[in-house]
Amino acid sequence: MALPPDVHFDFAVLLTILTILTGIGWLIDKLWLSRQRRNLIDGKDKPGWLIDFSRSFFPVILAVLVLRSFVAEPFRIPSGSMIPTLLVGDFILVNKFSYGLRDPVFHTEFVKGNRPKRGDIVVFRWPNDPSVDFIKRIVGLPGDRIAYREKVLYINDQAQPQTADGVYAAPKLPGGAAYRLREEIPGHTHHIIVNPEEPPRDFEMVVPPGEYFAMGDNRDGSFDSRGWGTVPERNLVGRAFFVWMSWDGAQMRPNFARIGIRIE
């Protein structure tokens, strides 16, 4: 029988397999082998290496699986699509129970949670290749009419206010800088950057039921829902909320100023 297309072998699946295997060994030892050893004449505890491994590591592997799958999971920011909110080299934590609890293999929701709100920064499995994790900001909810015209976001035919907030230095961009803007969407305010040297990427659609429209805060440097479509609810991984480490690749050292930042 073929597996669902969004099921793939990753670290979560490996942890699940190790938890099951070591759990079986731990249970066999608890229910049977430990009693046999207690009945030995010399009274010495001499389990085989496999049982000994299971006894030692099952609780640790189980704890890691539970924390990573249902509480918080670390991610690294690999690209500049979320500048200025998140930088390349940021290491973030993602709240895994914000949008409900899902099993780590088949991603089936078994505890209902909240749904994403406009402005949430979310990690999700990319619909075109679920083995790849993306991070973007949710700007459109199911049923919203989303348009992007002349670098202005429209939600349900209403232009979302943008206020100039200085210049963002970006040496790798044409011109060496981008406009930094404060954007207001219903219920949330955040910063974006716009590259004046890039042409507009006009777009319009109605978000289907059960799906979300996601965009990067680096509007001219983000591969997002404008290019590949919306994010199904099933693909949600969690909400980003905290920068726990940041590595400055240019200086080859931690960026201590970013450590501990709350993601909004």
> Where in the sequence numbering do the catalytic residues fall?
81, 136
Q: Measured between alpha carbons, how far is 248 from 256 in angstroms, rounded to an integer?
A: 9
Tally of CA atoms within 13 A in the half-sphere of 259 that contains its CB: 8
For residues 228 and 259, give the distance between their C-alpha atoms in angstroms, rounded to a whole number: 32
Q: Quick check: 263 and 238 in contact, CB under 8 A?
A: no
The DSSP code sequence of 32-90 is: IIHHHHHTSSS------HHHHHHHHHHHHHHHHHHHHHHTEEEEE--SSTTTTTS-TTE
Neighbours of 177 (CB within 10 A): 17
Residue 90 burial (CB count, 10 A): 24
Q: Minimal CA–CA distance to 217: which of 257, 179, 187, 247?
A: 179
Count, residues in the chain: 264
* Under 8 Å between Cβ of 236 and 99: yes
Q: For residues 22 and 62, what is the distance between their CA atoms, to the nearest angstrom?
A: 9
- Output phi, psi for 252, to 5 deg: 55, 50
What does each C-alpha distance from 166 to 103, 120, 122, 231 come to in angstroms?
44, 24, 26, 32
Cα gap 95→123, rounded to integer Å: 9
